[in-house]
Chains A and B, each alone.
Chain A
């Protein structure tokens, strides 16, 4: 076991990259992730990490550098947030379509316009359908652990992964983090090997135009259509859980820290009212739950660690005994509601048909503080609505003033 150190989320992400022995890093500044490339530059320049550091001129190029370097067999890393992530959008699709195991921490930040540098989750939720896995972290320990786990999982599934953690709340807040030694990580994470080799004797054309129907290659073997390739990606997502669980189990053996459950559960077993949240909101909600329980309300928390693949069955099962679900989110799908709320309802519909009272509350956009007592208030007021039999038609926006 490594030392326990006090560090910020960005330092944890950079340390995870070093421990994972990333070989190519694309660096570009954007608040609140800028410390990650800064720390990595120090690592590389001081010789603590042997890697090619490409100080690109944009995030579009950052992701492109990762794509091309990963394609020829390097373990690659970059980090971003908000407008930087949005600027990568085209390349996010390309990375997933090309099946490249890129790992990218994202310090969640609100998007312009108007400008904000502060935290919400609109940036990563808006990239939900790009074909990336998305892991959400509750604290800086998870940032370190999930980044290392990210490589382990991504390189088996050949799907890229975003390690999402709240800007400032985690990125700039120091917390104790139990580190791992280089030897431990080396044992856990073998060097990345592509399932193919770039060979001048057997040249290939990678990611060319693919047609709508399968076509035979020169040897007569039928090759996939465009939809065939897309279906393979979806199929890998659908069958991803055993790989994710095996990786987390091995990680637990190494560190004693368990992420095998894709949900963080706090006082959830007997809860009649459950917060369903992601990221640091899950930590925040535990305090609200303690207060609610002290007042006699059996409350609990379910925090999603993994949003893609979506843990529909596990989530539906986890909330099946609660009568009231409080889906508190820092992102909105304009014209409808929070994405997590929609997906939770779909999961219930498919998995067990339960119809608890569900209240979607949008909080914390652009860094608006969400305190445990705010969550308590949301819980109490939602319970009152539930007792009146109110069915929510639109999400509630909490705490925006005017």
Chain B
């Protein structure tokens, strides 16, 4: 199922004036997520750039109910909301949303627990590949070769944690990946997730001009390049079956794919990468893409 841009709900849940940096990918995706989920949604989130987006007391630019929680606790907070609503006869879509630091690193225990218990909620990890809110420190989602404020002399030497595989191993009712540069894909996946029961996990790639070192006008372009070179692959998994979606699906069909160079060259964080590291990056990207093609039946 997909929705044409003209058919998207007109209602906006994010007012102008959020406190994210200029060119942030987060509000682009969040806008379409909320259009898909609608007003009967409650969102719980830890400290991260999303906290900044939601504004400071007593004002918020976001038109859905939101709950703040601590860094390690996002999925447990969602479990508490779900249990509390059930016990008191209220009906809400429970959305948990955390960054890569709050998911790949500190939130993993609570998320694993909630997923294993088949908690009825949607968990979104928006991934900007570092601890941005605290000033661009390395996380386990930071790719090899990237400079951060804690890998500033020697760029990160280890690869990005394959967190999506970890979540797949929990066999959630629905698992998907998407990227803020493809609002239609974002919308469709959340619209679909909304109507599924059980644990739904969505990995949302978010380009971050501040942390990645690119011009604020290039946010959408960077996200598209990530997908066009298959560093980010758009797909969904239900009952173990992989389906490519949107741009990734048409790439699979056409067989056209860009090399990773253009994506890497546009970002300051990769400026210390050696050609050997670029080659390795390309190799890992190829392997990941081919594996997904195979699983999707191409």
Contact = CB atoms under 8 A, between A and B. Distances in A.
B76 A71 contact: no
Contact of A72 (B52, B69, B81): B81
B59 interface: yes
Nearest to B51: A209
Given A56-B113, A208-B51, A65 B65 contact: no
Interface in A176-216: 198-201, 203-211, 215-216
A206 B67 contact: yes
Nearest to A198: B65
Interface string B46-62: 00000110111111101
Given A55-B117, A94-B70, A223 B79 contact: no
B57 A24 contact: no
B51 A68 contact: no
A176 B246 CA distance: 68
Q: How large is the interface on A (under 10, 10 to 19, 20 to 34, 35 or more residues)?
A: 35 or more
Given A56-B76, A61-B79, A64-B110, A208 B84 contact: no
A208 B81 contact: no
Contacts of A217: 58-59
B84 A61 contact: no
A52 interface: yes
B72 interface: yes
Interface stretch (B86-94, B140-148, B182-190): B86-94
B77 interface: yes
B42 interface: yes
A23 B44 CA distance: 21
A205 B60 contact: yes
Contact of B67 (A60, A71, A90, A200): A71
B80 interface: yes
Interface string B264-277: 00000000000000
B87 A64 contact: no
Contacts of B81: 68-69, 71-72
Contacts of A61: 73, 75-76, 79, 109-110, 113
B40 interface: yes
B73 A64 contact: yes
B20 interface: no
B69 A90 contact: no
A58 B81 CA distance: 17
B68 interface: yes
Contacts of A54: 79-80, 83, 117
A319 interface: no
Contact of B110 (A60, A209, A215, A223): A60
Interface string A68-86: 1111111010000000000
Nearest to A58: B109
Contacts of B41: 200
Contacts of B154: none
A331 interface: no
A52 B90 contact: no
B213 interface: no
A58 B110 contact: yes
A210 B57 contact: yes
Given A64-B73, A68-B78, A215-B58, A205 B68 contact: yes
12 contacts: A64-B69, A69-B80, A69-B83, A73-B88, A74-B87, A90-B72, A200-B40, A200-B65, A201-B39, A203-B39, A204-B65, A208-B51
Given A54-B83, A223-B57, 8 more contacts: A52-B83, A60-B110, A67-B77, A203-B63, A205-B68, A207-B67, A208-B56, A223-B58
